[in-house]
Amino acid sequence: MHSFLREKSQMRTYIILGVMLFMFGLFLPHLSFAQGDFGLQTVQDQGLALSGQPLNVTIVKLIRIILGFLGLIAVIIVLYGGYTYMTAGGNEDKIAKAKMILRNGLIGLAIILFSFIIVQFVLQKLSDATGLNSGNGNNDIGCTGLQCSSFGSCFSDHFAAISVTPSQEATGMNNIIVRAVFTKAVGTSVSDILTITRGGEDITKRFTFIFAEGTDKRVVEAVYGQPPEGKGCTEEGKTDAVDCMFVHDDYKVNVNANVVASDGQALESGIVCGTQSVDEVTFNVDQLRNDTIAPILNPLGVADPTIGLLYTEAVPQIFAGRSYPITGTLIDESGVGYVHIHIEADDDATDFIDTDLGPGKDVSADPYIFVHEQFFSDGITKKWNAPKQYTITATGWDIDHNSVVATSSFVLLGANCANDTVDQGEINLNEGGSCGTPTGGSCSSHSVCASQQCVDGQCVAYPKIINVNPMDGAPGNWVTLLGKYFGDTPGSVSFGSDENGWGEASLVQCPGVLNGDTWHDSFAIVEVPVQQSTGGTNGGIALDGDGYIELTPPALSNGQSFDAGWTSVMWIALNSVTSSSPQTVFLLGDSTTSLELQLTTAGRLLLIQTENGVVKASMEGNILPTPTAGSFSFLSIAERANGAKMVMVDGVQYIFSTSFPVLNFSGPSVIRLGNGENGNTPFHGVFDEVAVFPSYAMSSFVYSTLGPVASSQQSVAYRDAVLSLNPMWYWRLGDSNVNTITEYISGTDTGEGIGAGVTMLAPGLFGALDVPPTTVAIRLTNEYGYSDTTIDAHGPLPVYIDPVTKQAYPDGLFRYNDIKKPGLCAVVADGS
């Protein structure tokens, strides 16, 4: 009797434990994720979507599927044990077997449940330590704005200094502002945050300390001097060592260890959220100079998290429930300070967020690529019930008082707008509600339309090319265009370059092989047409004798000046780096003063400045690499406001010197390409696309902007890119078969080819006149006459991947080659 009661009690224990574990397992995911989702909010949909999501989310999805399967097996085992016990009929052997099955099943279920808890805990800690937990806030209807979306991000839980500037070997100026950027608001008194020394001497008290305006006490500024106005040496024209910092090679800035956050949190050091904290920096003030040139901030926008590149659309559409990098590049000739990022909904001033970022240790002289990870809660679009447009405003500061502002926009759609299901609230597939107004609906702006095109108050079916496969091939090969809003009635597809030279592609016709049409609303299959002539002017000017190119710049307009320096850029193709005599590449001057860039017989660049026949300064650079026949290089010559000179080739600096005086012309100046003033240093090669900018415009930035466009062989696109940088003068060269050369901006003839060996319509940067290009854009026009191309900003730029190097070219250009791949019809015919 006692044995039976004991067995009954044990069975009751097993059953109660089993029920508790089952209920715990049933509610565990909801309970654990309600506590903050362990940084894995995007796992709420239990589908296994491996793309466009953080790695930790993918890992947890896989683990949950595996553990869920094992848990199902454990539950079946427990049920089987219970069934065995109920049908034992008093048989001692069956009862013992049932106990063993129940015990082992419950132990297995417990192991599985606790394994899941351990995995979640470990991933959470790893995310915190590495910065992967980047603020995927509350992904539910309760979080309806950017601030709560970022609540609980890694930086909000840690307090550290992530940037102190300047932090570089030499500043090139002395009107410096020392800055420190923290992860959250500082609670320590502003004058007790930093210690500044010069040659070991504490000079902290010589600075005025303030919290930078609009940063919520996250950025500390230290200005040398303590005038009543609090401006110190930031005022224009102050360069002396009384108002500004002395020339010295040993300045040091320390972040005091006792600094605390406004919430009382102590300062951390080391690796914080995957970022190295900055506790101490050094810099060298090498010149008494007032920097008045603003930095450059470009490009700015939202990046595709799957490839890390900026979306190429003018206003990209992104999806709620995901994290996206907000990124840009800040460049300054003296050094980079910090970037303040403000993101705000265009039609909802209550939905905004601010953050501050700065360069790490020892790199403030380099271009600063900043990245802010922003999570967008699904609750934002659920509450808004429409696409929501945001504007990013980034304000970048150099290491003194100059700043630049850049903006970019994007549209946030609901998380459900990227699937192949008509979800609740949608009228059509991915149309309606938070996906945007369907075609034919009324609209007041492009952003409210699912198609992103509002024409005369109505959303229109404007085609968008999303991808092309493949992105290379020979005439006659098949390619497939993928996208949206092509329409069900066939339109047209053409391949071409610039405004002319478009060749229409034929829709694939393959009766009996391809079932259905080859044109649909989301794809079109076409044959690659024969290459067409561009029909435009793509020449350059070649020199192969004693001749040269002379350009006379038009007079400056009102308000134009070279007070901030200048930059001249051009493309050159060398016949040879070395020659038996020096070659003059560039000469700027008048009758008394000149600046000449030569290529020496040893293949080095040599910059010479003369006044009245006397050499005032000169500097020789490194040897140029051996050129490939017919290949063009980007050359830039620049002068700072203080006279310093810099020469770069393809974005690489070959000459930089601060010993050059400022060019002061007594009369009208000219630009001569291809020969010196005495006419005995002729250059042999080709010139194309010459532009002059009215500032020391950071040649590396100009090259990074124009280089990719030039490689696309799109002459008109390159012209537009040059004009977007606001040049003073611009000569396209090779645009006429006569010796006169037109300055593009003024439209006047201000140049000419002089002497022997001048070929005005030689093959240039974009090939030769009327020679079919090897890279082209693709244009699709639907039945309503609306068009999209693979190189415009309406849709993403399709990517070409080199089959040999595997390098990706996200330029939207189709590459012609000689590799013929027969279409399916030809394959069937050959096999029949």
Cα separation, 715 vs 259, in Å, equals 56
How many other CB atoms are there within 10 angstroms of residue 19's CB atom? 11
| Tens-digit pLDDT profile for residues 320-363 | 999 999 999 998 878 999 999 999 999 999 999 999 999 999 99
> Over the range 181-200, which residues count as b (16 or more CB within 10 Å of their CB) and which as e?
bbbbebebeeeebbebebee
**pLDDT score of 236:** 55
Cα separation, 605 vs 607, in Å, equals 7
**pLDDT score of 43:** 31
**pLDDT score of 130:** 45
440: left (phi over 0), alpha (psi -120 to 50) or beta: left
The count of C-alpha atoms lying within 13 angstroms of the C-alpha of 143, restricted to the half-sphere facing its C-beta, is 23
| Tens-digit pLDDT profile for residues 664-720 | 876 668 999 999 988 899 999 999 999 999 887 666 678 878 887 787 667 778 888
**pLDDT score of 741:** 92
**pLDDT score of 183:** 96
Q: Which residues pair with 330 in a beta bridge?
A: 297, 368
Query: CB neighbours of 493 closer than 8 A, spacing ≥ 6?
Result: 481, 504, 505, 507, 524, 526, 778, 779, 780, 781
| Amino acid, single-letter form, for residue 576 | S
Q: Which residue has the higher pLDDT, 228 or 289?
A: 289
| Tens-digit pLDDT profile for residues 227-246 | 544 455 655 556 655 678 88
State yes or no: pLDDT of 766 exceeds 70: yes
| Tens-digit pLDDT profile for residues 733-759 | 987 777 889 999 999 999 999 999 999
CATH number of 464-534+772-830: 2.60.40.10
Do the Cβ atoms of 606 and 697 come closer than 8 Å?
no
Q: Is the dihedral of CA 730, 736, 741, 747 positive or negative?
A: negative
Assign 14 a pLDDT band (cuts: 50, 70, 90): low
Task: Tell me which of 64-73, 426-435, 482-491 is least confident.
Answer: 64-73
State yes or no: pLDDT of 276 exceeds 70: yes
**pLDDT score of 163:** 97
Cα 200 from chain centre: 41
| Tens-digit pLDDT profile for residues 623-672 | 888 777 678 999 999 998 888 898 999 888 899 887 899 988 766 689 99
Cα separation, 530 vs 318, in Å, equals 37
**pLDDT score of 46:** 31
Q: Which residue has the higher pLDDT, 772 or 132?
A: 772
How many other CB atoms are there within 10 angstroms of residue 554's CB atom? 13
**pLDDT score of 600:** 93
Whether the bond into 299 is cis, omega within 30 of 0: yes
**pLDDT score of 131:** 41
Angle 92-130/55-86 helices, nearest 10 degrees? 170
**pLDDT score of 774:** 81
Distances (CA, A) of 517 to 429, 490, 507, 520, 782: 21, 9, 9, 7, 15
**pLDDT score of 105:** 77
| Tens-digit pLDDT profile for residues 500-549 | 578 899 999 876 655 567 899 889 999 999 987 655 556 889 999 899 99
Record the pTM.
0.67
**pLDDT score of 51:** 41
**pLDDT score of 534:** 56
**pLDDT score of 237:** 56
**pLDDT score of 778:** 94
Q: Which residues pair with 623 in a beta bridge?
A: 604
| Amino acid, single-letter form, for residue 471 | M
Pairing label, strands 454-455, 464-469: unpaired
**pLDDT score of 481:** 95
Cα 98 from chain centre: 63
State yes or no: pLDDT of 26 exceeds 70: no
Q: Collapsing DSSP states into helix, strand and coil, what is residue 637? A: strand
Do the Cβ atoms of 342 and 354 come closer than 8 Å?
yes
Percentage of the chain beyond pLDDT 70 is: 82
Q: Which residue has the higher pLDDT, 103 or 477?
A: 477
The class (CATH top level) of 300-419 is mainly beta
Round the average pLDDT of the chain to a whole number and report it.
82
What is the CATH topology of the domain spanning 539-763? Jelly Rolls (2.60.120)
Cα separation, 794 vs 570, in Å, equals 30
E strand segments, 333-455: 336-345, 348-357, 368-376, 388-398, 403-413, 454-455
**pLDDT score of 231:** 54
**pLDDT score of 78:** 77
| Tens-digit pLDDT profile for residues 34-50 | 333 333 333 333 333 33
CATH number of 149-285: 2.60.40.1220
**pLDDT score of 702:** 84
Cα separation, 316 vs 332, in Å, equals 28
**pLDDT score of 297:** 86
Q: Enter the tokens of residue 13.
A: 């224990």
Using only the alpha carbons of the chain, give its radius of gyration: 33
Name which of 746, 771, 728 is nearest 537 in CA terms: 771
